[in-house]
Amino acid sequence: MSDASTTATGTLRPFDADNHYYEALDAFTRHLPAGWEQRCIQWADIGGRKYHVVGGKVSYAVVNATFDPVAKPGVLAEYFRGNPNGDDPIELLKAREPIHPCYRDREARIAQLDEHGLDAVWMFPTLGMIYEEQLRHDPEAVAVAFKAFNRWVLDDWGFNFKDRIFAAPYISLARIDAAVDELRFALDHGATTVVMRPAATTTAGGMRPPTAPEFDPFWALANEAGITVVVHAGDSGYSSNGYADDGFTSNFKGGVPQPIKFTQLERPIEDFLASLVCDQHFAKFPNLRIASVENGSGFLRGLFSKLDATANKMAGWFADHPVDAFKEHIWINPFWEDDISEVVDLVGADRVLFGSDWPHIEGMPEPLDYLRELEGLTSEDVSKIVRGNVVELNSLRPVPPTPR
C-alpha cells in the first residue's frame, strides 16, 4: 500500500471498496476484433444522440451512455435514505454537469482520492456491469466483448495503479475456457481482484449456477492464486414474474415508479451467495474469498435463518454449518442506509467493507460521508471496516505449495 495510509497526524486513511469509473467512448470497441461489432457492442446515432447497440439491439440501459453530461455524485442519496424531503427522483436526475476528468483519467482520480481523504480504492465498471445480460443469448460474444473490455481497463486504469487504484477485470463464466484465460491474464498483470455479476450464467448449454462442475477450472485457479472474487451489483436479468415490468431501466418506466422493484433488489445476491453455501462450494475450494459489493445486507438475517433451518433438516449433509461457511468465506459491503451495526452483529466486524459507490447517483456525495453510518461502533471495528478488511482482501493469498 501507499505511504498515504495515514495522515501526518496519524489519522487513518480509508480504503474505499466501491468506486467506479465512467467508461471511455471506446471502452468496448478499442480492442474488439474486426468483424465482431454487430455481435458485441457498437455505437449508433439515433435522433441526434449516441446509444450503444449491444448484440444488435439498441440499449437504453442508461439515459446517456457517453456520460457527458452526467448526474452529480450522490444526487439520490437522501432519496435512498427514505426521501425525507419528498423529492421527485426524476427531477433530481435532471441536474447534470460536464463529465469530470477524474471519472475517466487515473492521474486526475489520484488527485481526487487525496481531496476525498482516501488512501486507495477498488474500481469497478459502470456499463460493464450491465452488458453481459444484454449479450447472454450469445455466450461467444460475451467472451469476446469482455476480453476486449478488460484490455481497455488495463490501458486506461491498470489493474494496480500506484498502489492506490485497483481496477478489477470483469469475468463471465459464459465460456469457461475464456473465463480461465481472463483470470490468468488478470493475475499476470497484477490484478488483486476480479469482478462478476450476481447471476446464474447462460452458457451454450443453458443457464448454470456459479457452482456448476463445468466452472471448476475457474474456481480452482482463483482458489490456488488466492485472488478475491468480487460479486458486484449489476443487471442480473431477474424477472418480477408479472408483478412489475421487467428490465434494468424499468424502476421508473415512463416516470411512473414501480415500488415493488425496490423490494426485490437483493434477490440476486441472496440467491448467488446461497448457491455457494448450499452447494458446499467452499468445501471444494477452501481458500476462496468472496466480497459482495453494492448488493446491500438486508437479506442476511433471513438468509441465515433459512440456512440454519436447512442445516437442521438435512443433518449430516453439510461438511460445515452453512452459516459458519458463509461467515468464513464471504465479506459484505452494506448499503450505507442499512443498519451496519446489525451487519456487524451478524457476520462480525472483520467481514464488513466500507464502500461509497462514488461517483454514482445512489452513492455518497463524498465517500467519507459513509463514516456517519458507523457511529456507535468501536474504533477497532471502524478501523477494520474502513481499511483493514479490504487491505486483507486486496492481497493475494495463494495456496502454499504441497511439500514433496
CB 197 within 8 A of CB 234: yes
**Which pLDDT score, from 0 to 100, does residue 91 have?**
81
Q: b or e along 279-296 (b: 16 or more beta carbons within 10 Å of the residue's beta carbon)?
A: ebbbeebebbbbbbbbbb
- The C-alpha atoms of residue 391 and residue 404 are separated, in whole angstroms, by 32
Look up cell 472474487; give the residue: 229
Assess if residue 402 is contained within a domain: no
**DSSP string of 120-187?**
EEEEE-SGGGTHHHHTTT-HHHHHHHHHHHHHHHHHHT-SSBTTTEEEPPB---SSHHHHHHHHHHHH
- Residues near 288 by beta carbon (within 8 Å), at least 6 away in sequence: 219, 222, 223, 229, 281, 282, 329
- Sign of the alpha-carbon dihedral angle for 65, 68, 70, 73: positive
Cα dist. 207→49, 137, 147, 200, 249 in Å? 35, 11, 21, 6, 23
**Which pLDDT score, from 0 to 100, does residue 9 have?**
32
Residue 251 amino acid letter:
N
- The C-alpha atoms of residue 3 and residue 174 are separated, in whole angstroms, by 40
Assess if residue 230 is contained within a domain: yes
Assess if residue 227 is contained within a domain: yes
CB 26 within 8 A of CB 152: yes
Q: What is the SS3 assignment for 287? A: coil
For residue 321, give the CATH number of its domain.
3.20.20.140
Domain that holds residue 281: 3-393
Assess if residue 16 is contained within a domain: yes
Assess if residue 35 is contained within a domain: yes
Torsions phi, psi of 158, nearest 5?
75, 150
CB 206 within 8 A of CB 213: no
Q: What is the SS3 assignment for 237? A: coil
Q: How many Cβ atoms from other residues are within 10 Å of residue 145's Cβ?
A: 28
**Which pLDDT score, from 0 to 100, does residue 354 have?**
98
- Residues near 149 by beta carbon (within 8 Å), at least 6 away in sequence: 27, 28, 31, 125, 128, 170
Number of domains in the chain: 1
- Encode the chain (404 residues) as per-residue pLDDT tens digits: 444 455 433 467 999 999 999 999 999 999 999 999 999 999 999 999 999 999 999 999 888 999 999 999 998 888 877 788 888 877 888 889 999 999 999 999 999 999 999 999 999 999 999 999 999 999 999 999 999 999 999 999 999 999 999 999 999 999 999 999 999 999 999 999 999 999 999 999 999 999 999 999 999 999 999 999 999 999 999 988 888 888 766 554 445 557 787 788 899 999 999 999 999 999 999 999 999 999 999 999 999 999 999 999 999 999 999 999 999 999 999 999 999 999 999 999 999 999 999 999 989 999 999 999 999 999 999 999 999 999 999 999 999 887 76
Assess if residue 399 is contained within a domain: no
Nearest CA to 393 among 176, 135, 154, 168?
A: 168
Q: Across the beta sheet with 57-58, what order do the strands follow? A: 41-46, 49-54, 57-58
- The C-alpha atoms of residue 376 and residue 341 are separated, in whole angstroms, by 8
Instruction: Look up residue 384 and give its DSSP letter.
Output: I
Assess if residue 403 is contained within a domain: no
Assess if residue 404 is contained within a domain: no
